[in-house]
Amino acid sequence: MAIYLKSPPSVPELPEIRLSQIAGRFGAMPADEYETAENLNLAPVGLCQARKAEPDRPVTTVNIPPGAGFYGAVYTISSAGSGKDGRRHLTSPLMEGEVVVQFYYDTSGRLYNRSGFGSAGFTPWKKRWE
């Protein structure tokens, strides 16, 4: 039998995690609606959506590949990971030594990709298939 003279250590607080996300090293795959990125240079790590301006939605996501369709999904992979809660966004400029790869797949079936390297920024978008 033991007698404690001090109270036990407090339980650490866990970050708030959305149950509709499955967080992993390279981002989260939401079970609900994808987040809409306003700027692909500052996109969330993982999956998000991007849109060009339409009559009912005048806001355009910045840095969409030239020639891409009006709507697309973006998958962002970062060497810095997705953070403790799986919801980290890219920074501008990228963190020192960070390597980022982005894939953009639009509704017309075209796939684009680009990469980013630390303070050097992103390479231009390349069309991979149509």
Q: Please check whether residue 10 lies inside any domain of the structure.
A: no
DSSP bridge partners of 84? none
Q: What is the domain count for the chain?
A: 1
- Between CA 58 and CA 45 the distance in angstroms is 25
Is residue 55 a part of any domain in this protein? yes
Spatial distance between the Cα atoms of 96 and 129, rounded to a whole number of angstroms: 31
Distance CA 129, CA 117 (A): 24
Top-confidence residue, 33 or 114: 114
Specify if 16 maps to a domain: no
Other Cβ atoms within 10 Å of 76 Cβ, number: 24
Query: Has residue 8 been placed in a domain?
Result: no
pLDDT tens column, 79-90: 988 877 777 899
Does residue 1 belong to any structural domain of this protein? no
Name the residue among 130, 110, 123 with its Cα closest to residue 69.
110
In a domain, 48, yes or no: yes
Host domain of residue 36:
21-129
Asked whether residue 30 is assigned to any structural domain, the reply reads yes
- For the stretch 1-33, pLDDT in tens is 667 677 777 877 776 666 555 555 556 666 677
